[in-house]
């Protein structure tokens, strides 16, 4: 991120919602450009290289999911989906296509700003720490990927190989919601339904090892019916 204000690309065909978002951005020190169609969104993403894309899914020319796929073919810029669709299947499609996060309409301004901050933290993490990404640090949690060691408050965690893989996957995607399907594919190499039960079991045992209170997790957030996210600890 440069010293200038972060640039947001707001993709929304509903003028009232678009104005609400852009006014919020302006008030909170962000620059923005906007697009009302999927075509215009892809063109702006390519020419203006925004820091974050805020993307509506229901667009007049074609679906926002296609915008995600197109942008992902050349860029890892954060994409936050803002959609009226409340079905888990739609959120999962968007996340699997490469979106980083989602907000369901109606959303609060506070919620929007929190998601934006998370997306920007993610960005600065990748641009600032590219050279030192062999060691991951988040709050009291540290992972030495190469050595295969994770510590919490300086004490080594005794993790099974699957727990370690799971922890690394979440850490490498910190602040991003990962779908069950994605995790199953990456950790177990199969998206068979039967592995979902294993994922829940391993997530439970992992949480017992890294969370002070596993019923109120600090590091790993559950998105019911969708997946998990490792939170970036301030």
Which residues are at the interface with Ca ion (CB under 5 A)? 13, 56, 58
CB of 117 to Ca ion, least distance (A): 24
CB of 66 to Ca ion, least distance (A): 14
Residue among 58 and 98 whose Cβ is closer to Ca ion: 58
Residue among 8 and 35 whose Cβ is closer to Ca ion: 35
Cα–Cα distance between 10 and 32 in angstroms, integer? 7
DSSP of the chain: --SSPPEEEEE-S-HHHHHHHHHHHHHTT-EEEEESSHHHHHHHHHHH--SEEEE-S--SSS-HHHHHHHHHTT----EEEEES---HHHHHHHHHHT--EEEESS--HHHHHHHHHHHHHHHHHHHHSGGGTTEEEETTEEEETTTTEEEETTEEP---HHHHHHHHHHHHTTTSEEEHHHHIIIIIS---THHHHHHHHHHHHHHHHH-SSTTS-SSEEEETTTEEEEPPP-
CB of 106 to Ca ion, least distance (A): 13
Residue among 63 and 186 whose Cβ is closer to Ca ion: 63
CB of 64 to Ca ion, least distance (A): 8
Nearest residue to Ca ion, scored by beta-carbon proximity: 58
CB of 89 to Ca ion, least distance (A): 18
Residue whose C-alpha is closest to residue 174's, from 129, 209, 208, 109: 129
Residue among 93 and 175 whose Cβ is closer to Ca ion: 93
CB of 46 to Ca ion, least distance (A): 21
Structural tokens at position 185: 């594919």
Residues 101, 81 contacting (CB under 8 angstroms): yes
Residue among 13 and 100 whose Cβ is closer to Ca ion: 13
Residue among 38 and 92 whose Cβ is closer to Ca ion: 38
């Amino acid at each position: 991120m440069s010293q200038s204000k972060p640039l947001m690309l707001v993709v929304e065909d509903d003028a009232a919602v678009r104005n609400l978002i852009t006014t919020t951005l302006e008030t909170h020190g962000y620059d923005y450009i906007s697009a009302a169609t999927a075509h215009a969104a892809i063109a702006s993403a390519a020419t203006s290289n925004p820091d974050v894309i805020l993307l509506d899914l229901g667009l007049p020319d074609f679906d926002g999911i296609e915008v995600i796929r197109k942008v992902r073919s050349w860029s890892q810029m954060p994409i936050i989906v803002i959609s009226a669709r409340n079905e888990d299947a739609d959120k999962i499609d968007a996340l699997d296509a490469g979106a980083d996060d989602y907000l369901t309409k109606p959303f609060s301004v506070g919620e929007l700003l929190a998601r934006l901050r998370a997306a920007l933290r993610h960005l600065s993490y990748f641009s600032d720490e590219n050279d030192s990404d062999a060691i991951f640090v988040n709050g009291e949690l540290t992972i030495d990927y190469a050595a295969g060691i994770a510590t919490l408050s300086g004490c080594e965690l005794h993790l099974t190989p699957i727990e370690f893989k799971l922890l690394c996957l979440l850490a490498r995607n910190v602040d991003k919601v990962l779908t069950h399907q994605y995790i199953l594919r990456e950790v177990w190499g199969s998206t068979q339904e039967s592995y979902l039960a294993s994922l829940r079991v391993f997530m439970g045992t992992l949480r017992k090892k890294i969370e002070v209170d596993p019923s109120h997790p600090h590091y790993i957030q559950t998105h019911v019916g969708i997946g998990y996210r490792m939170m970036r600890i301030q």
